[in-house]
């Protein structure tokens, strides 16, 4: 009988030791650093004009309206630009968390556009640190505006293409920065003396001023042969997040609302008063099973 009692006591002690060891191991695991993805570098998948480093979540659809008025410098006869307007309406869709596609149509040159945007890797912190996110965007544009002249341009003549690399980092909860070099090929430029192949270095920044408000900056510097009246696109704005909407109010010298248009056909000089009041509205929808959409900046 004593032997049985001793055996039972040994089993109980072994169980207690095992439980203590498990609790100790769990406590040690809880103190070890984990890898955490960094999101919300920007509130939207667009800084202002340009693609941002942010992506749509899988199954998320973004209905997006971009609007630009005329130059404020046109004065009271044009109601400080309110009598003129350029407009783009588009739909973007998240195929996966790392793959977004989009289509749109602009009133400027009555241009259609489409793009594919992929994330190569995402910024992380913790056990495995990746200092920045890297995204690529591939796009196509086709203008449908009627051309007056002896030659009616073909679909090929009306087409342009671009490829863009976007590297961005969220330095803190308040400040994010990205660089976005882009290469654009236009089969037949609007002005025949302009270069068909254009490289531009772009940049974007965001500074968060409150939980739902941020100041943004968007700029591109193109390199190549252009008409004398073409200038560099510069935009300064405010992002306001309201539930499922992201409202972007800004000032810009650009009229065009896709990459080919605003990089190769901007005519206003921002620092000489050729500034347009504009806004972007983004409305998010979920297609399929519900899943938290966290691409809008945190």
pLDDT at 152: 82
Q: Tell whether 235 and 276 lie within a shared domain.
A: yes
Q: Tell whether 101 and 13 lie within a shared domain.
A: no
Tokens of 133: 């996110």
Whole-angstrom distance, CA of residue 163 vs CA of residue 136 = 7
Residue 132 counted as domain residue: yes
Q: Tell whether 276 and 195 lie within a shared domain.
A: yes
pLDDT at 40: 87
Q: Tell whether 141 and 11 lie within a shared domain.
A: no
CATH of the domain at 77: 2.40.160.40
pLDDT at 150: 62
- pTM tops 0.75: yes
Residue 269 counted as domain residue: yes
Q: Tell whether 190 and 120 lie within a shared domain.
A: yes
pLDDT at 57: 92
Residue 293 counted as domain residue: no
Tokens of 104: 């749109």
298: Cβ–Cβ under 8 A, 6 or more apart, which residues? 39, 40
Helices (DSSP H) in 64-142: which residue ranges? none
User: Of 236, 276, 282, 221, whose CA–CA distance to 86 is shortest?
Assistant: 276
User: Of 105, 54, 68, whose CA–CA distance to 258 is shortest?
Assistant: 105
Whole-angstrom distance, CA of residue 210 vs CA of residue 196 = 43
pLDDT at 127: 82
Q: Tell whether 210 and 279 lie within a shared domain.
A: yes
Residue 297 counted as domain residue: no
The separation between CA 162 and the C-alpha centre of its own chain, rounded to angstroms, equals 15
Tokens of 239: 């992002």
Whole-angstrom distance, CA of residue 114 vs CA of residue 102 = 6
User: Of 141, 137, 139, 96, whose CA–CA distance to 117 is shortest?
Assistant: 137
Q: Tell whether 104 and 175 lie within a shared domain.
A: yes
Are residues 62 and 43 in contact, defined by beta-carbon separation less than 8 angstroms?
A: no
Whole-angstrom distance, CA of residue 184 vs CA of residue 256 = 14
Q: Tell whether 204 and 274 lie within a shared domain.
A: yes
Residue 63 counted as domain residue: yes
Q: Tell whether 162 and 17 lie within a shared domain.
A: no
Residue 247 counted as domain residue: yes
What's the total number of domains in the chain?
A: 2
Residue 26 burial class via C-beta count within 10 angstroms: exposed 0-12, middle 13-18, buried 19 and up: exposed
Residue ranges of the chain whose pLDDT lies below 70: 1-33, 149-150, 243-244, 288-298
Domain that includes residue 172, residue range: 40-286
pLDDT at 168: 96
pLDDT at 41: 92
Q: Tell whether 8 and 51 lie within a shared domain.
A: no
Residue 241 counted as domain residue: yes
Q: Tell whether 162 and 100 lie within a shared domain.
A: yes
Are residues 53 and 167 in contact, defined by beta-carbon separation less than 8 angstroms?
A: yes
Residue 298 counted as domain residue: no
Q: Tell whether 26 and 55 lie within a shared domain.
A: no
């Amino acid at each position: 009988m004593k032997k049985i009692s001793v055996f039972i006591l040994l089993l109980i002690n072994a169980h207690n030791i095992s439980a203590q060891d498990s609790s100790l191991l769990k406590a040690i695991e809880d103190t070890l650093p984990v890898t955490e993805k960094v999101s919300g570098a920007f509130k939207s998948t667009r800084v202002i004009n340009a693609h941002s480093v942010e992506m749509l979540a899988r199954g998320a659809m973004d209905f997006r309206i971009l609007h630009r008025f005329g130059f404020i410098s046109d004065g009271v006869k044009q109601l400080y630009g309110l009598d003129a307007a350029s407009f783009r309406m588009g739909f973007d869709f998240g195929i996966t968390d790392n793959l977004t596609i989009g289509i749109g149509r602009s009133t400027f040159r009555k241009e259609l556009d489409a793009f594919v945007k992929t994330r190569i890797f995402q910024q992380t912190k913790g056990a495995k640190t990746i200092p920045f996110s890297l995204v690529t965007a591939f796009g196509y544009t086709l203008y449908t505006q009627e051309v007056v002249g002896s030659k009616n341009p073909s679909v090929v003549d009306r087409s342009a293409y671009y490829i863009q690399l976007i590297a961005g980092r969220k330095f803190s909860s308040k400040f994010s920065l990205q660089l976005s070099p882009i290469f654009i090929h236009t089969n037949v430029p609007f002005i025949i003396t302009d270069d068909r192949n254009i490289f531009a270095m772009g940049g974007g920044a965001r500074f968060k001023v409150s939980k739902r408000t941020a100041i943004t900056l968007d700029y591109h510097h193109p390199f190549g042969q252009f008409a004398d009246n073409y200038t560099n696109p510069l935009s300064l704005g405010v992002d306001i997040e309201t539930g499922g909407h992201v409202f972007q109010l800004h000032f810009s010298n650009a009229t065009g609302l896709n990459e080919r248009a605003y990089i190769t056909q901007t005519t206003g000089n921002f620092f000489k008063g050729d500034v347009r009041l504009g806004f972007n509205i983004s409305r998010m929808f979920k297609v399929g099973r519900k899943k938290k959409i966290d691409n809008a900046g945190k």
